[in-house]
Chain A
Amino acid sequence: MDPRSTFKKLLPAAAFVAALAVMPGLQSCSKTDNKAAGGSSSSALSSDAASAVYVAPGKHDEYYSFLSGGFSGQVAVYGLPSGRLLKVIPVFSQNPENGYGYNENTKPMLNTSFGFVPWDDLHHPKLSRANETTDGRWLFVNGNNTPRIARIDLKTFETVEIVEIPNSAGNHCSPYPTNNNEYVVAGTRFSVPVTAEGKLQDISLKEYKDKFRGTISFLKVDKDHGDMNLDFQIMVPGFDYDLANGGKGPSSDWIFFTSYNTEKAGTLKEVGASQNDKDYLLCVNWKLAAKYAAEGKAREIPANYAHNKMNHETNQATSTMKKTVRILLPEECPDMLYLVPVPKSPHGVDVDPSGENIVISGKLASVIPVHSFSKMQTAIKNKDYIGDINGIPVLKYESVLRAEVKEPGLGPLHTEFDGKGNAYSSMFVSSEVVKWSLKDFKVKDRIPVYYSIGHLLIPGGDTKDPSSKYLLAMNKITKDRYLPTGPELAQAGQLIDISGEKMKMLLDFPLIGEPHYAQAIAAEKIAPNSAKMYKLDANKNQYATRKEGDTKVVKNGNRIDVYMTAIRSHLTPDNIEGIEVGNEVYFHVTNLEQDWDVPHGFAVMGAQNAELLIMPGATNTFKWVPTKTGVFPFYCTDFCSALHQEMQGYARVSAKGSNVPIAFSTGEKRKAPSQP
């Protein structure tokens, strides 16, 4: 029997409409409750909320939080509880602020099989793990649009690696680490007509149901250095894979993916993908998959994807095109994959700190089902199946279900946990955070958020060691919450105190881009390791100039290399002649400073480029192709010292073929003016 038709009969789509009609009544009741508890509106904020988030000038926050920038392609780092913005880290987007993706050093980071792609939609940050908890070494993030996974080094807060994911599209359920960071996984949201031979077909869109497939990719992470390597992929049915999370404790060997559009609609998915009453949770035994791959069950197929790495010794990124990938087919790998029915169109799948409860937040569902890992194991043992899809057994909903959280609110999206046996679910439609107990699965408290919350975060809330102090709600809509800024408004973070019985709203602050998900970690796991500068002695960049005496200008055909140094408060050389229109001029600027927080900038008038922002001890390269003759000032763009304004120079550009000899200098020795 086709399980999907059963579900259609069981829970007609009309049930959701009915829920919509009933829930507002429930909401208004709960809102009244909350007002009494003093947590639902700004006027009811108690004065201690201000002191709870006040971090005195010069003092540090307790947590770092890393919020995805969504369509900004960046990661924003905020301190918690203050909500102060500490840094914006460019990952998939060019960043004129520091030249990332513009300078010659970082351009290769944005290379893909499609060519140079200077933007992406960055959704999910995940911190690296050791001993089953966050270790503060790296942050993994995904690019959804052009499937990529990036790694940020938390010593330097810089993007150091980007791997393109082949045979995928809409890299959404990504990058989810296994419990000890053995793998980071990535899945397909927009299934595509990819063949088992790794060919993306040019076929009629009407063939969606038969020809479209998804893949789940496993990137192995080097324990010591964090380097990623696409180990293998699993080809899966052509659903939309939405979010994932690894198991922990007893479920450590497993990783779970929510899926929707199990109808395999290829158009108007808004309707087409919402017809089945149940979609599936894809459960992957990754340990077994890795074993199959190691045993040679994975077949090597042609592929073409970019693997980009930043080398901190040379401060130079390189991009390598990889030509093959190994793929596992589920029909050849028994016991590796199982499907568990879940209420339709699920979003988050979250495993509680014990590793036993698997919470599925179905954004169109009227309950939050909690599946049991141990019941799932029993069902697998008893072969308690209701069918199979592409050879993947489908378990029975009731056999795996532990409990359903009734009347949680509308549009549950995502759940995290505290350290006291409670779960907190975000409700997109009813704009609230709902606290419920993992003991009796009953709702304990609810607090409105402004407005339309997507994900939420509790520091460590996705690990076995969650904090029980703060929750950050990330809201998609702000409307009247801040001073208006025209039609385009910021999205919002709202910090909620979860230390007591009742949740309390503490702080509301605007965010950059769209925060899809975020991670937070105790500051002491990162702050002591934060680099202050690069060592000039260890600078292995091929264009590095370690002292002013070594600066030079070298012309070779149409190419001119300027070996320049920057130190408070001059550039060497600062007078350059002999450049001609159309020459490719490369300024290799080394910042000779070895002091904390003394970057120098570099910009040239008319350059069709961004600036350089060079950290102490580093060398960055700026390409300039002058388009007209004249004298072009260049200068330091970062206010470095009292004589920063004087830190400037001139490049003379002559007509093509004018043969002005190359000449360069800084500060000719002049006699001191005689004293009157």
Chain B
Amino acid sequence: MSNVSKILMLLAALSLSLLFFFPMWKIYLEAPQYPEGLEMHIWVNKLGGNTEYTLQNFNILNHYIGMEKIKADSFAELKYMPYIVYFLIGSGIIIAFLNSRKLVLTWLIAVIIGGTAGLIDFYMWLVKFGTNLDPMAPIKVPGMTYIPPFLGSKQLLNFKALSLPDIGGLSIGIAILLAAIAVYIEFFYRKKTRSATDKLQTA
């Protein structure tokens, strides 16, 4: 494996550690009476917001439409996801020092599967919270559901919701991109150059 690929692999593994420093996803809410805005932050291991009270305030606002309380305890993912990430970082670092392009490919596939599973899981939660409403809710709008946008913005009653990946989430993409370049170099680019040198040598 070339040094460039090794460095790319190392960076890919390390970039995942950003998940512990930045949220994966942010949901921004804007409403006339919230000029300062409300931001819910979804981390790999916790839920938070732009202030320490954001979650409580999200829940106070949501209880009028009968949305279930959002709390970290409801999400088993927040407990086991960090271990998956630890494993990916650890294995990625080891692979960077091993001379196996197959392992690089395996790691890349694992990260893609993990990332996609995470996105699907996130979407399912959004649907669940947005549709599983208490029939006793004070505010009931016939036919209305409150699924926050998965990506991009959406008007939900008086709130304009905007959902975007944050640095933590983007780091998964960066890891995939870097590992994919390493795979490309090892499986396609180097193969071509190698066969070219082979030809040259035979000639």
Contacts and interface: CB of A to CB of B under 8 A. Distances in A.
A10 interface: no
B64 interface: yes
A672 interface: yes
Contacts of A670: 136
Nearest to B53: A594
Contact of B57 (A594, A642, A675): A594
Interface in A561-585: 567-569
Interface string B25-69: 000000000001000000000000000110011001000100000
B64 A595 contact: no
Interface residues of A, number: 15
Q: Is the interface of B mostly helix, strand, loop or mixed?
A: loop
Q: Is the interface of A mostly helix, strand, loop or mixed?
A: loop
B40 to A, nearest CB: 14
A643 B64 contact: yes
Given A596-B36, A672-B135, A642 B56 contact: no
A672 B56 CA distance: 25
A567 B60 contact: yes
B60 A643 contact: no
Given A594-B56, A594-B57, A642 B136 contact: no
B138 interface: yes
Contacts of A672: 134-136
Interface string A590-625: 000111100000000000000000000000000000
Interface in A617-649: 641-643, 646
A642 B36 contact: no
Contacts, number: 25
Nearest to A593: B60
Taking residues whose C-beta sits less than 8 angstroms from the other chain, chain B's interface range is 10 to 19
Contact of B64 (A594, A642, A675): A642
Interface string B138-166: 11000000000000000000000000000
A595 B136 contact: no
A670 B64 CA distance: 17
B139 to A, nearest CB: 8
A567 B57 CA distance: 10
A643 B138 contact: yes
B57 A595 contact: yes
Contacts of A593: 60
Nearest to B35: A58
A568 B60 contact: yes
Contact of A595 (B60, B134, B135, B138): B60
A594 B134 CA distance: 24
A536 to B, nearest CB: 9
Contacts of B52: 594
Nearest to A595: B57
A670 B136 CA distance: 9
A671 to B, nearest CB: 9
Contacts of B60: 567-568, 593, 595
A546 to B, nearest CB: 12
Contacts of B57: 594-595
A336 B136 CA distance: 77
A670 B135 CA distance: 11
A469 to B, nearest CB: 29
A596 B50 CA distance: 13
A642 B53 CA distance: 21
A675 B136 CA distance: 11
A569 B36 CA distance: 22
Interface string A189-214: 00000000000000000000000000
A594 B135 CA distance: 27
Nearest to B63: A568
A646 B64 CA distance: 12
Interface string A341-366: 00000000000000000000000000
A673 B137 CA distance: 12
Nearest to A616: B53
B86 to A, nearest CB: 31
A668 to B, nearest CB: 12
A642 B139 CA distance: 10
Contacts of A641: 64
Nearest to B33: A597
Contacts of A643: 64, 138
Contacts of B139: 642
A596 B56 CA distance: 12
Nearest to A58: B35
A641 B138 CA distance: 12
Nearest to B56: A594
A590 B136 CA distance: 26
Interface of B: 36, 52-53, 56-57, 60, 64, 134-136, 138-139
Interface of A: 567-569, 593-596, 641-643, 646, 670, 672-673, 675
22 contacts: A567-B60, A568-B60, A569-B138, A593-B60, A594-B52, A594-B53, A594-B56, A594-B57, A595-B53, A595-B56, A595-B57, A596-B36, A641-B64, A642-B139, A643-B64, A643-B138, A646-B138, A670-B136, A672-B134, A672-B135, A672-B136, A675-B135
Listed from nearest, the 9 A-B pairs whose CB atoms lie closest are: A594-B53, A672-B135, A595-B57, A568-B60, A672-B136, A643-B138, A594-B56, A595-B53, A567-B60
Given A594-B57, A673-B135, 20 more contacts: A567-B60, A568-B60, A593-B60, A594-B52, A594-B53, A594-B56, A595-B57, A595-B60, A596-B36, A641-B64, A642-B64, A642-B139, A643-B64, A643-B138, A646-B138, A670-B136, A672-B134, A672-B135, A672-B136, A675-B135
